[in-house]
Structure 1
């Protein structure tokens, strides 16, 4: 049985943004196995394949008036958890609507936004045979953890809405981002900013994919040596100063040709290092792989740390500078050790979340929950196919839709974009060239340094955490103020733009390189 203790979110909100397809379908058949991959820990928003636009806006939970209102006014456990749910017409209807695979995906992302890391919500998958229906959705962001045991409240619904809206992108692929904002719950005496991680680990998946990096997966059998692609740990992200030759070590010297004071140290076992370009880990044969090290005497089979086997990597940074990642691993995959990583002078590492995600994209806000959330002419339903006992079909609105499905979903863009309106439309619309099938209305620039120029938000840095750059008090076209926006930061300006639309991600200027104290820090086992 789940605890009823109130759990306030503590984690940094570094999440995987995953995408949308090109248009809204007219209808979909739902066979008995339609939801087989859903409802497990793999559906968490950190690692799910993608939250498509249609999964967000035309699913049979959010885009059904009765189901939406029930969800907005009930605890999650009372509707979904078989150990806690109240058996009545409402829960039966919600379970029926879950025959829509879009609804299952939507709920997986909703739980990921609302509940915190390590939390799960049980549910019954009606697309599975009796006895095999028990499933779980996993939490991640922790923006409204009390929704598990009680009705969420208005501010909570708005935060979760913003989180869900920020999960969309046209590419339909995983892109990692940082969410910034503030959590205000006066009735619970809560007023706190989204916390930012002081140490950002490299991404452990293949870039632009949800597939796990093979090097981050445990080895199936005992393996030794730096060339292996299993059993590595994502250690840290650093900034490589433009054109400089730098070194990273865990007990090895800055150069094997001229040994000197070692960088860092290795403890308990012989350790190895791998350095990759960018903010994601890499495999040995990847183009992003810079170098790996198992010490200045790589031929040695000594399994213990010493000056000949302690690793270090020396490399030259690109002319424009850039990010690099550090991975660590024991030389022998079946032993445990610690790599205390050190870096040469002038290197910024390990970097914080704020330093890794520096491109402010814009803000997302609104409310997709409640009795007035949907257009009156929209109501997605699930019905049994005539004459077929176990087959159902989902009745959705036709595509394209010229107006958004939901009345109050909005996005504004950072003024740093050269083509801000075009970029933001590309971001939230499945058919951006036509302005159709959009998940939200683009309201304009979030901020403008000219007080006489249009701006959609009253604050460009919320008061609870100075310097995190979260927009606050953002307006819709009717000038209503929304108090719970989520501001998104990207690692790269073109992270969400395909090759054919690169002009859209032009920025007026690039942020300065990260400025954090160079320091040694203990490694991860």
Structure 2
């Protein structure tokens, strides 16, 4: 048997209602069909197998929740770069062909072959879906960590350890995309434009401390022009730089904007990198979290150049995934697929009524979980662990209703009596993944996903901020992680 450890950096914005009340997962027949067929045979118009199963799935896709659920399922199951074709019934005939994109690669074989009953593959995808849901509909970057115990050739490594954590191209905690990450519609110049930027890296520095960030400009920023030694370098074309607070990119008008630079010679139109045109900035480290994001771009959006960004010694850049996501939230595990996965009294249906389709869901909030075997446990670092974990997995925060999972308790405690048998899997010591976690019947689930957040309140609204209190702050990012990184982002 072979084993692998993996960290997966992925977005979380599947709402709890979409997870638990969609017409595929929450319909007995559709759920069983999904668990016993390949994805291509059910969805791909070029490989679809005609029959009752594919007909049922096509009918259930008239539910928008089902479409969102499948987008996230494919994102968990298939690998980055893979897609699954499907027909969207909400689009005009002849133009219905659509695609869902893969991402985590936790069950790539599902594309062409049906999973084995009660397989580790289905449990990994379940854990991924459960980890990626939240009742607030917030799009939050998170790190999922876990272990794979299967023959080494049966599944490729889902994600290599992400040693260079690229900044998010959306505003953390919202669905708003960073406009500056989009290509420019035409030629544009300067550091104030809001298009054609690349998300370079995430850095960290002690709150309130003054640091410098540069791509060839002087250490000390614009005030040190002609005096400070070069910090970093630029090549190929004149480059510009922007620094934002947090782990997301920003636009020039965003509250997160901290500084921009296009060199020492203000107003210069030179297209070449020189000591006078290379960018650098001096800034005070963000008070909240100490994280900052660096964006780079050619001064002329039509040019091609390279920025080698460096920072003064008290800052760290670029950070690894482990350095960006330091708040261990808890573990998610179980199996939501197959006959018997749902409560007997739950069956979301899509019914055609005259010329339209009607989705019939439960009309009243559910006091008990809809799925029999979905679980979560919480990290012992939360002051109000049970309250936080319940808030996290329920569609109606504060009500304990329409919950996606049963909260089993603390994943770990000092006495070793928590729900999981270990708080750091042996395959990759130090990544902090809970392993072999129990449900309330003491059955052990060996495919948990442990989630790490950037900030403790990332998934909590302002009205419930007391829930995200921690017993202590996490230690700063480890410098040894940063020191081993290359100075250029890996190609993605």
TM-score interval, normalised by the smaller of the two chains: over 0.9
CA contact (8 A) 2:108 2:155 kept: no
After TM superposition, the structure 1 stretch with the greater mean CA deviation from structure 2, 336-345 or 511-520, is: 511-520
What is the match of residue 68 of structure 1? 31
1:98–1:366 CA distance, 2 compared to 1 (3 A): same
How far 1:193 moved relative to its partner?
8.1
1:521 to 474, 482, 487: 487
Equivalent runs, 1:106-145 vs 2, <5 Å: 106-145=69-108
What is the match of residue 311 of structure 1? 279
CA contact (8 A) 2:243 2:293 kept: yes
> 5+ residue gaps in structure 1?
1-7, 19-50
Which whole-Å CA distance do the structure 1 matches of 2:155 and 2:126 have between them?
19
1:461 to 408, 420, 424: 424
What is the match of residue 414 of structure 1? 379
CA contact (8 A) 1:417 1:505 kept: yes
2:195 to 226, 230, 233: 230
CA contact (8 A) 1:196 1:354 kept: no
CA contact (8 A) 2:5 2:147 kept: no
Please give the per-residue CA displacement for 1:156-202, whole angstroms capped at 9, x wherever unaligned: 10010111111111221211111000122248555968643000111
Equivalent runs, 1:40-439 vs 2, <5 Å: 51-153=14-116, 154-186=119-151, 188=153, 195-255=160-220, 256-258=222-224, 259-318=227-286, 322-385=290-353, 388=354, 390-439=355-404
Equivalent runs, 1:11-26 vs 2, <5 Å: 13-18=8-13
What is the match of residue 454 of structure 2? 491
CA contact (8 A) 2:4 2:427 kept: no
What is the match of residue 437 of structure 2? 474
Please give the per-residue CA displacement for 1:415-438, whole angstroms capped at 9, x wherever unaligned: 000000000010011234332211
Secondary structure of residue in 2 paired with 1:181:
strand
Secondary structure of residue in 1 paired with 2:65:
helix
Secondary structure of residue in 2 paired with 1:13:
strand
* RMSD, matched Cα: 2.1
What is the match of residue 463 of structure 2? 500
CA contact (8 A) 2:263 2:278 kept: yes
Which whole-Å CA distance do the structure 2 matches of 1:66 and 1:113 have between them?
22
CA contact (8 A) 2:212 2:219 kept: yes
1:127–1:231 CA distance, 2 compared to 1 (3 A): closer
1:319–1:378 CA distance, 2 compared to 1 (3 A): closer
Aligned length: 481
Which whole-Å CA distance do the structure 2 matches of 1:240 and 1:291 have between them?
15
Which whole-Å CA distance do the structure 2 matches of 1:193 and 1:173 have between them?
24
What is the match of residue 47 of structure 1? none
Which whole-Å CA distance do the structure 2 matches of 1:329 and 1:191 have between them?
34
Which whole-Å CA distance do the structure 2 matches of 1:342 and 1:411 have between them?
41
1:348–1:299 CA distance, 2 compared to 1 (3 A): same
Which whole-Å CA distance do the structure 1 matches of 2:319 and 2:50 have between them?
50
CA contact (8 A) 1:9 1:145 kept: no
After TM superposition, the structure 1 stretch with the greater mean CA deviation from structure 2, 469-478 or 182-191, is: 182-191
CA contact (8 A) 2:40 2:112 kept: yes
1:127–1:310 CA distance, 2 compared to 1 (3 A): closer
Please give the per-residue CA displacement for 1:498-518, whole angstroms capped at 9, x wherever unaligned: 111110000001111112256
Please give the per-residue CA displacement for 1:428-461, whole angstroms capped at 9, x wherever unaligned: 112343322111100000000123xx41100111
Secondary structure of residue in 2 paired with 1:423:
helix
After TM superposition, the structure 1 stretch with the greater mean CA deviation from structure 2, 185-194 or 284-293, is: 185-194
Q: Normalized against structure 2, the TM-score is what?
A: 0.93
Which whole-Å CA distance do the structure 1 matches of 2:344 and 2:413 have between them?
35
CA contact (8 A) 1:418 1:507 kept: yes
After TM superposition, the structure 1 stretch with the greater mean CA deviation from structure 2, 52-61 or 482-491, is: 52-61
Which whole-Å CA distance do the structure 1 matches of 2:154 and 2:174 have between them?
40
Which whole-Å CA distance do the structure 2 matches of 1:229 and 1:128 have between them?
32
Which whole-Å CA distance do the structure 1 matches of 2:231 and 2:411 have between them?
45
Which whole-Å CA distance do the structure 2 matches of 1:62 and 1:193 have between them?
24
